Amino acid sequence: MRAALYNRFGPAADVIELGEIATPDPAPGEVRVKLQFSGVNPSDAKARSGTRPGVTKPPYPQVIPHSDGAGVIDALGDGVDQARLGQPVWIWNGAWHRAFGTAAEYICLPAAQAVAMPSGLDPQIGAVLGIPGLTAAQTVFGGGDVTGQTLLISGGAGAVGHNAVQLAKWGGARVIATCSAGGMERVRSTGADAVLDYADPDLASKITEASGGEGIDRAVEVEFGQNAPLLGEVMAPLGTIAAYGSGKDMTPTLPFGAFLFKALKIDITLIYLLPDTQRETIIARLHSALSAGALTPAIDTVYSLQDCAKAHDAVMTPGRAGAVLLRI
């Protein structure tokens, strides 16, 4: 089968190659998926670049990147229900602690990691549900129902944030979103109740005003370290900060007094590690929103498999309007 591969860290164009490797056969309990699309995420590009502290070489002799994807089950391992053959599916954790991810014509993985798609779902959308979709759903609904709550979603124009705004509105929340000036109209179109420029020097007061003076019940936060002082100001007492990123400040200094006297909770989400029962709950929420027409994940660019390196560069480029995919 054809696959995008790398065996060393470095710039995408230098280390990713298109190659031919043996088509895998599913082990007991596994399915083989003939892939149609592979979802490219910033975590894939960071893993390939070798910028993570203390990691000097890839964990496997050859790596096929990408955890997300969509396709059709074309082979079953022993013990898998025969009814699953031919089933359209989307994939989670395809490359998490595994050598071979979804940037290939086929992938074999445990049957539970190939999720039956809602009827009629576009496989391009299926290919972005693993990380952007589940992260958005978990950060919005990980504490339960949000009906009547006020949610602050930072990075509302990003792949996760854009999904989170839609999910929170569907869930019955008042939604305040922040983004760059260039993304504000796009975020407004998702139905956010207020959209604010994250660079506004009066951002804290405008968030508080948009909340009706009551503060934020739950914050979905992509830059926790950078925004921690702001959150200390705008959160309501007993509020929760659902953080899934802090790329600009990985060693944040917290305004502990502000957090303490509001008894704020910090709920950090790494979607790869979500326990099975929580994942099943969040998948059901995600599918319900999709089936209700309440969620339309945005796709920015679809590249061919041979342009995997370009896709890695694109997913790390600021200002994109949605997810990046490979067409297999």
* Average pLDDT value for residue range 207-212: 98
pLDDT at site 105: 98
**Strand 216-221 relative to strand 194-197, pairing:** unpaired
- Confidence grade of residue 54 (pLDDT, cut at 50, 70, 90): confident
State both tokens at 208: 């508080």
CATH code, 140-271? 3.90.180.10
Q: Give me the mean pLDDT over the 300-316 stretch.
A: 98
Beta bridge partners of 246: 223
Looking at residue 114, its amino acid is A
Spell out the residues 6+ positions from residue 319 whose beta carbon is closer than 8 angstroms to its own.
180, 182, 183
71 to 68, 108, 224, 323: CA distances (angstroms): 11, 12, 34, 17
The pLDDT of residue 9 is 97
- Topology match between the domains 2-128+297-327 and 140-271: yes
Task: Share the mean pLDDT of the chain.
Answer: 97
State the average pLDDT over residues 35-39.
98
Mean pLDDT across 145-152? 98
pLDDT of res. 53: 78
How confident is residue 71, by pLDDT bands cut at 50, 70 and 90? Answer: very high
Domain boundaries, the chain: 2-128+297-327, 140-271
Q: Taking the domain 2-128+297-327, which CATH number applies? A: 3.90.180.10
What does the alpha-carbon distance between residue 107 and residue 122 come to, in Å, rounded to a whole number? 19
In this prediction, residues 84-97 reach a mean pLDDT of: 98
pTM: 0.97
- Mean pLDDT (whole number) for 87-93: 98
The answer to whether residues 174 and 180 touch, using CB atoms and an 8 Å cutoff, is no
Rounded to an integer, the average pLDDT of 212-217 is 98
**The predicted structure's pLDDT at residue 154:** 98
In whole angstroms, what is the distance from residue 217 CA to residue 215 CA? 7
Q: What is the pLDDT of residue 182?
A: 93
| pLDDT tens-place string over residues 21-33 | 999 999 999 999 9
pLDDT at 5 over 90: yes
Does the pLDDT value for residue 98 go beyond 90? yes
Q: What pLDDT does residue 51 have?
A: 82
Is 52 a residue whose pLDDT tops 90?
A: no
Q: What is the percentage of the chain residues whose pLDDT exceeds 70?
A: 100
